[in-house]
Structure 1
Amino acid sequence: MTVIQLSESWVVTAIGGPAPAEIINRPIPADVPGSVHLDLLRAGLIAPPFDGANESDQQWIGDVDWRFETTFRWHDDGTERQELVAEGLDTLATITLNGVEVGRTENQHRSYRFDIGRALIAGENALRIDFAAPVPAAHARSEEHGARPHVNHHPYNALRKTASSFGWDWGIDVATSGIWKPIRIETWSVARIASVRPLVDVDGTTGILNAHVVIDRADALSAGPLRLEVEIAGRIATADVAAGEASAHVRVEVPDAELWWPRSHGAQPLYDVAVRLVGTGLRDEAWNGRVGFRTVRVDVAPDEQGSPFAVYVNERIVQIRGANWIPDHAFLTEVDRDRYARRIGDAVDANMNLLRVWGGGIYESDDFYDLCDEQGVLVWQDFLFACAGYAEESWLAGEVEAEAREAVTRLSPHPSLVIWNGNNENIVAYAEWPGWRQKVEGLTWGEGYYRRLLPGILAELDPTRFYAPGSPYSFSSYVSPNLDTHGTVHIWDVWNTKDYAAYRDWTPRFVAEFGFQGPPAWTTLTDAVHDSPLDAYGTQMLVHQKAHDGNLKLERGYLPHLPKPATIDDWHWATQLNQAAAVRFGISHFRSLAPYNTGSIVWQLNDDWPVISWAAVDFEGRRKPLWYALRAVYEPRLVTIQPRDGELAAILLNDTDEAWSGEVIARRVDFDGTVRAEVRVPATVEGRGAVTIPIAAQLQTPDDAKREVLVVEAGGIGRAVHDFVEVVEQSLDPAPFGIEAARVADSVRVRVTARSYARDTFVLADRGHVDAIVDSGLITLLPGEAHDFLVTGVPADVDPTVFAGPLVLRHAGDLRTAGD
């Protein structure tokens, strides 16, 4: 096979639509892979799309038809087949080679392969790809085929294109066009390996690899016999492929195979797999990949309480501590392996063991799944349908089937991938969202995909993984899809309408989505928002707040808990703190329900641009207070104080293999450190177990609720602090600790020593220096306790005392003074 990569000498031209006069018909250098927005930005023809209010000024880009052109040289090498391989075109493209149309595409989420032998010439060739404007195309198709309901303002559901590229309640509206994955010429003879599905199983101590291989033949009528070889762990198995056959199956057994485990359950051994096709005229026709031996099942069988959603790997239950994943950049080609590694590192460092790839995004690159394989991070993959009705007629269904088949095949080697999910919120929308069913009356809306097409494709191509028709889903057609006693739930009534204490109104078996908003780090925010003076309701600030009534919901959310902020600095700290407190409260409650509850997946880990959102890590990679709260509440071993039958109880959770035994100390403590009452009890928690310990009566009722807390400690498991009243009611000391900030080697150590109760102490490190990172956060101290915050990334010429400043070193108590 000969390969010609087509990554050089591209230009892009606006050929139709409302492009400015200085841009229309002007060739602009283009990067491939890339996006027209980035090409315009590099050429100095648009301002940075994420900055200020530029989003609205650049809406014309999605209304314009764009032409990409390049030339390449080719010589006749005597091969039988010549093909153009486009791994990803975004989205409605017409491809012309030397004036001959060779193909059309309608789907960003799949690859295409076109025979170009009739158009290819020896010497210089001219390749042109015309992209139809995505926004008007989406509207036109929606009108032509029947408008179906969707969230947000563009009918993204009429195209097989990343839904969130049209904007979301956390996402910028940058409807992109371009060649977003590699494109190349391949010339070959005799046969080639078209695809490999290396499915695994485990039988006792033996790993079983079933390699399913699809073969393309250059001339199907006269194709001769071939031999297929599959090698793993030094063992080789072969299969003869008869003349004319286009597929083969090879089984290889690996004795004493090491099992692949999710993180905190074991190691992640990966086995190299080589698939080789051998025959007359063939040379170096091979596929290489990796697999991990493990089994997966999800228990959804009805029980006396409803139906669970319990994930088992190698027949051991895994308590899920996860986050939802969205595309990590609004311009997808900006996400490389290093950026994936940083974000997945954020998940791992926060004690997460699962990422859910959300259905309004993309099937991520192999780098994402490779890194999850290596790190032991489970992957739940949505098929790409979200919050909308989708046509099931042939104009869309054919692309949906081709896309799903390719995605299932491509991702089949990855042991981290354990769940396929049919859609995000479409079934619950049909069942329960006001007006939704009326809008799809008489129209198809996607049910056939979720209940027939997609499970059928998985049954055919990859029956080794679990399939859920949707999320949320109760695994019954006769109960609410979002019933907390069944399957998976999404909890959004809290963010939208209620105080976060209402998380305790839910007793979910498994939470697949829930979350609370907060702004990004101060530097991330102010690098993009330039209102003067900076204001929560400033023009540019609201461009970077996509949620409906988002700032009003932030205010409604913090007012029961925190004093009303007096300044924009305090608004920023209060909303970040309240986001962290809300999610910490929810997960503590959910985890306390184990084993009835088997997991939670917070919305969301990451951002795709600088925005006020539900993310734990902002677009610039700065970890928000929420991230530190997640790391603490997702610790495998956790102590939490929860109401039980009208009383308080301590729940000890031990999500490790080793049992714990020790003394549990419960104290009622005054803010000045005085111990009002204390009780000690022995306890044992088995591996992967939980224990509930009632709180003694003398500890449950404070003498002065405004000045006392309940503290429960279990050495080796953790500590929990229960505040009898909210911050807004507490008599917190506005200056509860002494501070020492000093340089230690290449870092700055900020030592705080509590004189009185110090609640949720945090270093907003980027406010000390834009590159600074702090190792810990949301630290609560009792009088006499000290904590060292280690701040890295601080240049040598920065005064370390800036990290002790009042806008950098914050705590919950400083909001009382600020707000009074």
Structure 2
Amino acid sequence: MHSTSLDSDSGTTWTLHPVRLAEGAPVLPDTIGATVPGVVHTDLLDAALIVDPYLGMNEQVDAWIGHSEWAYRARIAAPADDAAAEHIELVFDGLDTIATVSLDGVELGRTRNQHRTYRFDVTDALRAAGVAGAELEVRFDDVWAHAEALRDELGDRPNDYPTPGNFVRKMAANFGWDWGPQLVTAGIWRTVRLESWSGARLMSVVPQVTVDDEGAGLVQVTAVVNATTPAVRTVRIAVGDLFAEVPVETSGTTTATLRVPEIERWWPRGMGAQRRYDLDVTLREAADVLDVRSRKIGFRTVALDTTPDAHGTPFTFLINGTPVFIRGANWIPEDCFPSRVTRERYRARLTDAVDANLNMIRVWGGGIYESFDFYDLCDELGLLSWQDFLFACATYPEEQPLAGEIEAEARDNVARLAGHPSLVIWNGNNENIWAWHDWGWQAKLEAAPGGKSWGLGYYTDLLPEIVAEIDPSVPYWEGSPYSGVADIHPNDPAHGNMHIWDTWNRVDYRHYADYRPRFASEFGFQGPATWSTIQHAIADEPQHPDSPAMLLHQKAGDGNAKIIRGMLPHLPTPARTADGHYDLEQWHYLAQLNQARAVAFGTGYWRTLRPLCMGTIMWQLNDCWPVTSWSMVDGYGRRKPLWHAVRRVNAERFALIRRGETGLVLHLVNDGVTSWRAAGVVQTQDFGGGVHAEQEIDVIVAPLSSLRVDLSRGVSTVRDTGHQVVVARLDGLLDDRPVVFLYAEDLDLALQDAPVDVQVGTWVDGVQPVTLTAQTFTRGASLFPDRLDAAAWVSDVDLDLFAGEPVTVQVHADTPLDAAALASTLRTLNTLVRAAR
């Protein structure tokens, strides 16, 4: 089989043509240069025909694009180097979404699913066209109109977002979410190619990779062969010098199995190496090689332990038989226009996760099935991947034509992603079963004439059957959240996995400690993007948290009010400007700080519950545009203070001091595979550095375990909660950073506004050290070098500074930053607490 790319970077010239423009559209030329893969928005941007929808109020200006109709055109010919091929197929890896594909005016087919691969036979048409080629047209209809028409036909159903997005198989977040804009796309969003072949070819190759009871690797490959004539052919699978062959004579499905002894297993990061092997699958006819598929695989076993116990139903991942505490983050589409996300950009964002000490990424169900690069990088980096099927926060009809589309989509993607060692779970949906119980959906569905299907059959029957058939080596779970059985509430903390959102929507984040989840697969708190991102994306004058463009870039209902409400129990209230608005600079610092502390509080507490709780997946790693959201890395790839908090609280060796039944308790958590000798001292100090009590610590924390140490009465007894701090300094902690416990919130502490000495060192190879020394106990010390250079960032923030004890951080910048200017970006809570008083 021979593949010829038709992407723009391979030399094919594509053009974009307006077919029908919706109200509000500007005057456009009839022909616009286009890039494939891409979408209409990116082509109009490249041609300077629209303004960047990520900036200012432009999202609203560009709304007409998603209600218009468009055509992509290119002239294509049969591959010159394979002119004698018996078959030529036109293959699209992704069409977004309601498309009609034609060649020289003859319709080849229609599509209505963004998440599938499509192929069309163009052998005769390209033969007839000769070297001049034929005009390929892909026309995209108005996806809104299509979805609304199907909604009218099947009957409306609940959707947490008031759009018809649940009536079309398209990225749900495209229609807008509480962190994303409504930028409804159309286009050839993934690669397109011609595949030419003769005699026979490998239509698909699906590997299942595991380990047998004796520790040998097992590779079972299911191959679908297309053949034009009977002949003696073989499918060979090979790993290194080992191979197995099976004969095939005609078209059909065949399975070959290879046992690989003495393998090195693939492990998640922190537990072992990410050893991968080359797998080659070859179709031969005598000595001729007809087709080859090659990829890397890793040998590992995965199981999800949900065996009922005395506490309920666990939700524990076993990798190679070892229970793994999941330290994860949810992943949303990295860009509203996914065709812009390169392998390098995937690597940068997944490296953000690795550097934050995470070991799992959950690909959330309102986005897309990510590209091969995403999962290949997860394999390489040792990041476990959790894949949702694409259903989120809505009811989905189980009637045709959606039922057939969903089955084809699921089969396509389970087969495409099989064999990645990082992929350890398929999840049926995001929040839909929970919503049916608690969001009023039952009443709405039952009130409809004859009742309405809502998707449950997909989650409980269709999808698990497809996973079991195509890739049974990966566990399936019905939903997030889900208790495991129908007669227990789907968000019951004692059973399965749960989402915790009342602490953002209604109550203070310290209520995280009211929960004892078996596994928290969603929880989070909002904070603004970095200062440099806001300054680039928002041009309001005056600029404040509630200025027009700032509010357009805050999609959560009552989001800014919730940020302030969540801040007030802990931090001083931001000052107000003369016109009555919160001062943006103070609000930004305090909101980012509170976001970081909220997520760290919940994550840290649940880690101490190991093995009752065996995982947390915070919401969310990334953003798709510049926005106030729950992310730890903003829409321009800049790390927020939350990233630093996540890095600390998810360190392999972690310590936390909290109140126990009779005094303070030191919790020590060791997620590593070797023992940890935690030796050091716990002290009660005043803010001037005087020691009032201390206790030596010297304990061994076994691998993959947690340990509780009751602190002495002397250390636990604090006579003046506003002037004293409990601090633990232990060997083996990340960055040797001390563990701090305060009996009072920051706004109630007697913090002194004493100056912090800032010594800026010499810039060498992109790193500039900065040493901070305080005269008194100082909270929240943070440098913000991106105020000087948008690309600059600092190695740690929200520092506790003890009197006379210098702390050095590293500022990363492409060029040296002025020392005085850099010192001016320091912010501390001491200053604001004193000012508030």
Do these two structures clear the TM 0.5 threshold for a shared fold by scoring above it? yes
Q: Deviations over 1:272-295 (max 9, x none)?
A: 000100126964410001110000
1:340 equivalenced with 2:346 (yes/no): yes
Counterpart AA for 1:208: L
Q: Deviations over 1:324-381 (max 9, x none)?
A: 0011111101100000000010000000000000000111111111111011100000
Q: Residues 603-618 of structure 1: matches in 2 within 5 Å?
A: 603-618=619-634
Q: Residues 356-755 of structure 1: matches in 2 within 5 Å?
A: 356-439=362-445, 442-566=451-575, 567-645=583-661, 647-717=663-733, 719-735=738-754, 737-746=756-765, 747-755=767-775
Match in the other structure for 2:230:
223
- Structure 1 SS opposite 2:49: coil
Counterpart AA for 1:271: Y
1:815 equivalenced with 2:832 (yes/no): yes
TM-score, normalised relative to structure 2: 0.95
Of 34, 46, 71, which residue of structure 2 is paired with 1:67?
71
Q: 2:572–2:833: 8 Å Cα contact kept in structure 1?
A: yes
1:233 equivalenced with 2:243 (yes/no): no
Q: Distance in 2 between matches of 1:409 and 1:651?
A: 43
Q: Distance in 2 between matches of 1:98 and 1:804?
A: 66
Q: Deviations over 1:43-89 (max 9, x none)?
A: 11111110100111111000001111111233692322221101100
- Structure 1 SS opposite 2:466: helix
1:152 equivalenced with 2:161 (yes/no): yes
Cα 1:288–1:19, aligned 2, differ >3 Å: closer, same or farther?
farther
Q: 2:37–2:339: 8 Å Cα contact kept in structure 1?
A: yes
Match in the other structure for 1:33:
37
Q: 2:39–2:185: 8 Å Cα contact kept in structure 1?
A: yes
CA positional deviation for 1:736? 5.2
Q: Distance in 1 between matches of 2:106 and 2:118?
A: 17
- Structure 2 SS opposite 1:753: strand
Q: Distance in 1 between matches of 2:772 and 2:364?
A: 40
Q: Distance in 2 between matches of 1:464 and 1:390?
A: 28
- Of stretches 392-401 and 575-584 in structure 1, the one that deviates more from structure 2 is 392-401
Q: Residues 306-325 of structure 1: matches in 2 within 5 Å?
A: 306-325=312-331
Q: Distance in 2 between matches of 1:730 and 1:211?
A: 64
**How many residues matched?**
813
- Of stretches 19-28 and 89-98 in structure 1, the one that deviates more from structure 2 is 19-28
CA positional deviation for 1:554? 0.3
Q: Distance in 1 between matches of 2:223 and 2:25?
A: 52
1:790 equivalenced with 2:810 (yes/no): yes
Match in the other structure for 2:48:
44
Q: Distance in 1 between matches of 2:442 and 2:759?
A: 58
Match in the other structure for 1:86:
92
Cα 1:714–1:98, aligned 2, differ >3 Å: closer, same or farther?
same
Q: Deviations over 1:738-787 (max 9, x none)?
A: 21123232432211012211223211120122221212222212222111
Counterpart AA for 1:779: L
Q: Deviations over 1:645-678 (max 9, x none)?
A: 3642111111112223354522111111111222
Percentage of matched positions with identical amino acids: 43
Q: Distance in 2 between matches of 1:792 and 1:25?
A: 45
CA positional deviation for 1:252? 1.0
CA positional deviation for 1:143? 2.0
Cα 1:519–1:22, aligned 2, differ >3 Å: closer, same or farther?
closer
- Of stretches 702-711 and 160-169 in structure 1, the one that deviates more from structure 2 is 702-711
Counterpart AA for 1:661: R
Q: Residues 171-190 of structure 1: matches in 2 within 5 Å?
A: 171-190=180-199
Q: 1:156–1:163: 8 Å Cα contact kept in structure 2?
A: yes
Of 9, 13, 16, which residue of structure 1 is paired with 2:13?
9
Counterpart AA for 1:262: P
Q: Residues 220-369 of structure 1: matches in 2 within 5 Å?
A: 222-241=229-248, 243-279=249-285, 283-369=289-375
- Structure 1 SS opposite 2:820: helix
Q: Distance in 1 between matches of 2:506 and 2:717?
A: 31
Counterpart AA for 1:809: L
Q: 1:171–1:608: 8 Å Cα contact kept in structure 2?
A: yes
1:208 equivalenced with 2:218 (yes/no): yes
TM-score, normalised relative to structure 1: 0.97
Q: Residues 15-26 of structure 1: matches in 2 within 5 Å?
A: 15-18=19-22, 22-23=26-27, 26=30
- Structure 1 SS opposite 2:496: coil
- Structure 1 SS opposite 2:762: strand
Q: 1:149–1:436: 8 Å Cα contact kept in structure 2?
A: no
Of 167, 173, 184, which residue of structure 2 is paired with 1:164?
173
Match in the other structure for 1:776:
796
Counterpart AA for 1:813: N
- Structure 1 SS opposite 2:457: helix
- Structure 1 SS opposite 2:829: coil
Q: Deviations over 1:438-471 (max 9, x none)?
A: 2365111111110111100111111101110000
Cα 1:199–1:709, aligned 2, differ >3 Å: closer, same or farther?
same
- Of stretches 65-74 and 624-633 in structure 1, the one that deviates more from structure 2 is 65-74
Q: 2:173–2:367: 8 Å Cα contact kept in structure 1?
A: yes
Match in the other structure for 2:579:
none
Q: 1:151–1:387: 8 Å Cα contact kept in structure 2?
A: yes
Q: Distance in 2 between matches of 1:810 and 1:415?
A: 44
Counterpart AA for 2:668: L
Q: Distance in 1 between matches of 2:151 and 2:660?
A: 51
Q: 2:778–2:830: 8 Å Cα contact kept in structure 1?
A: yes
Q: Deviations over 1:597-623 (max 9, x none)?
A: 101000000000000000000111111
Cα 1:366–1:283, aligned 2, differ >3 Å: closer, same or farther?
same
Provide the aligned C-alpha RMSD in A. Answer: 1.6
Q: 2:100–2:107: 8 Å Cα contact kept in structure 1?
A: yes
Q: 1:736–1:758: 8 Å Cα contact kept in structure 2?
A: no
Q: 2:158–2:441: 8 Å Cα contact kept in structure 1?
A: no
Q: Residues 750-761 of structure 1: matches in 2 within 5 Å?
A: 750-761=770-781
Q: 1:739–1:750: 8 Å Cα contact kept in structure 2?
A: yes
Structure 2: tracts of 5 or more residues without a match: 576-582
Q: 2:687–2:776: 8 Å Cα contact kept in structure 1?
A: yes
Cα 1:282–1:446, aligned 2, differ >3 Å: closer, same or farther?
farther
- Structure 2 SS opposite 1:553: helix
Cα 1:209–1:435, aligned 2, differ >3 Å: closer, same or farther?
closer
Q: Distance in 1 between matches of 2:26 and 2:764?
A: 54
